[in-house]
Amino acid sequence: MYAPSSVDAPRIHTPDFITESALTIPIYGMLGEDGRPYEGADPSGVAKEIVLAMHDAAVFTRLLDERMVAAQRQGRLSFYLTATGEEAATVGSAAGLEPDDMILPQYREQGALRYRGFTAAQFMDQLFATEDDLGKGRQMPVHYGSRALSYMTVSSPLATQIPQAAGYAYGQKLAGEGRCSICYFGEGAASEGDFHAALNMAAVIRCPVIFFCRNNGYAISTPVSEQYAGDGVAARGVGYGVRSIRVDGNDFLAVYLATQEARRQAVSEGVPVLIEAMTYRLGAHSTSDDPSGYRSRKEEEAWQRFDPIARIRAFMEAQGWWDAERDEALRQGYRDEILAAMKTAEAKPAPSLARLIEDVYAAPPWNLTEQYEALREQVRANPDAYPKTAGRIE
């Protein structure tokens, strides 16, 4: 039978439209801005070691971002993209998953990758496109990926990963191993056709996927007021038949608990779930962007008060799990590790010339082999023009 709702729906006899504000979605939060649990919010479901691990990954990510922006300013790196202010959204959600659930990132989820165990050296190998980069030096900085950590390699086109997550999750369901996928994207990417395609398909085909929107207020310079007119992204989920929740994206505990519950429902019922995490991009879109052209310092300062790391730290201290001394030790240790890893990566050679034609196909066809042979001769004949590869042709 088609469209049962149209058959059984009650009839009205005046043309009353449902208003665009009929559905107003609340925000799920556990910790207030001072890091104290709200009245009625019970944080006891989050184990101490989870809180410490989330904080640890978030601090690493914050320090990595600071260091790499500085490196870009110094001309040591072509490009970088920080996640500052969004660490609770990415780390908290990764913590709410099982380690072998698949993550399909957009490009600002280094916190989730760090939570999975990506090392400082691995970050640097990708950022500096060294011969040890898992991606073989083929993509711009921050396009991380790791099969071992179930973290799908980043691709620049926005929203393409969202229908892919539905398909990946469908495969996980067929495999029957109780796994799910999580897919990250921003509120800007949620305007792309792929977002709408994905939510509809995942709901109809019943895919165990968590759609995780980082609503950070801006798509480069475009504020949400110029991105959408409805009640954010969560309201769209309802229209597609996807259960949806809006969470305080700067609250580690709320993000963790919401993701854990989303995962439980996705896997046990084989359905998609949408989480809209309300957060704020404290930094620029990327090192190629300057936010002073489109937003006020006052606005940025207002959001500093909601810094997720300060909030979880206050919570940890109130629990007696943390203090200033441990905090400084953690930070100094990571600063040193990151700097050392950067120096090591900077000294490493680029991938050899042969990597250029590998992986286009499982095996290079005749045209690639021919083109490679010609290029190799060109590099051999003009070593000064191609210093990265000339010294080590295979």
Partner 1 sequence: MARMNLLQALNSALDTAMAADERVICFGEDVGQFGGVFRATSHLRDRYGNERCFNTPLVEQGIIGFANGLAAAGFRAVAEIQFADYIFPAFDQIVNETAKFRYRSGNEFNVGGLTIRSPYGGGISGGHYHSQSPEAYFCHTPGLKVVVPSTPENAKGLLLASIRDPDPVLFFEPKRLYRAAVGDVPEEDYTAELGRAEVLREGGDVTVLAWGAQVEVVTRAAEMAAEKGIDCEVIDLRTLLPWDVETVTRSVLKTGRLVINHEAPRTAGFGAELSATVQERCFLYLESPICRVTGLDTPFPLAHEREYMPDHLKTLAAIEQTVNF
Residues identified as active-site = 281, 285, 294
CA distance 82 to 195: 23
Query: Does residue 358 interact with partner 1 by CB under 8 A?
Result: yes
**DSSP H stretches of helix in 270-365:** 297-304, 308-318, 324-346
Nearest-10 crossing angle of helices 161-175, 193-205: 20
Of 163, 155, 241, 225, the closest CA to residue 188 belongs to: 225
Query: Does residue 162 interact with partner 1 by CB under 8 A?
Result: yes
Query: Does residue 348 interact with partner 1 by CB under 8 A?
Result: no
Q: Binding string, 109-148, against partner 1, x = CB under 8 A?
A: ------------------------xxxx-xx---x-xxx-
Stretch that binds partner 1, among 36-44, 228-236, 255-263, 363-371 (CB under 8 A): 363-371
Interacting residues with partner 1 between 88 and 107 (CB under 8 A): 102, 104
Query: Does residue 352 interact with partner 1 by CB under 8 A?
Result: no
Stretch that binds partner 1, among 78-86, 107-115, 162-170, 213-221 (CB under 8 A): 162-170
Residue in the block written with tokens 């072998």: 100
Report helix, strand or coil for 210.
Answer: strand
245's enclosing H/E stretch is: strand 243-248
CA distance 105 to 112: 9
Considering only residues 50, 121, 197, 330, which one is a binding residue for partner 1 as defined by CB under 8 A?
197
Please say whether the dihedral angle defined by the alpha carbons of residues 337, 340, 342 and 347, taken in this order, is positive or negative: negative
166's enclosing H/E stretch is: helix 161-175
Considering only residues 82, 106, 110, 172, which one is a binding residue for partner 1 as defined by CB under 8 A?
172
Closer CB to partner 1, 162 or 309, in the complex: 162
Interacting residues with partner 1 between 263 and 322 (CB under 8 A): none
Evaluate whether 327 touches 118 at the Cβ level (below 8 Å).
no
Radius of gyration of the chain (CA): 23
Stretch that binds partner 1, among 83-91, 112-120, 191-199, 255-263 (CB under 8 A): 191-199
CB of 167 to partner 1, least distance (A): 3
Query: Does residue 189 interact with partner 1 by CB under 8 A?
Result: no
Evaluate whether 186 touches 215 at the Cβ level (below 8 Å).
yes
CB of 351 to partner 1, least distance (A): 9
Query: Does residue 204 interact with partner 1 by CB under 8 A?
Result: yes
In DSSP notation, 105-125 reads --S--HHHHHHHT--HHHHHH
**Which token pair is 230?**
């409805």
CA distance 224 to 294: 13
**DSSP H stretches of helix in 30-160:** 48-73, 87-95, 110-116, 120-127
Query: Does residue 176 interact with partner 1 by CB under 8 A?
Result: no
**Which token pair is 88?**
């609770």
Query: Does residue 168 interact with partner 1 by CB under 8 A?
Result: yes
CB of 143 to partner 1, least distance (A): 7
Query: Does residue 17 interact with partner 1 by CB under 8 A?
Result: no
CB of 241 to partner 1, least distance (A): 11
Cα–Cα–Cα angle for 85, 86, 90, rounded to 5 degrees? 155
Count the residues of the shown chain that bind partner 1, applying the rule CB under 8 A: 49
Closer CB to partner 1, 158 or 254, in the complex: 158
Where does this chain bind partner 1 (CB under 8 A)? 102, 104, 133-136, 138-139, 143, 145-147, 152-153, 155, 157, 160, 162-172, 174-175, 181, 193-194, 197-198, 200-201, 204-205, 358-363, 365-368
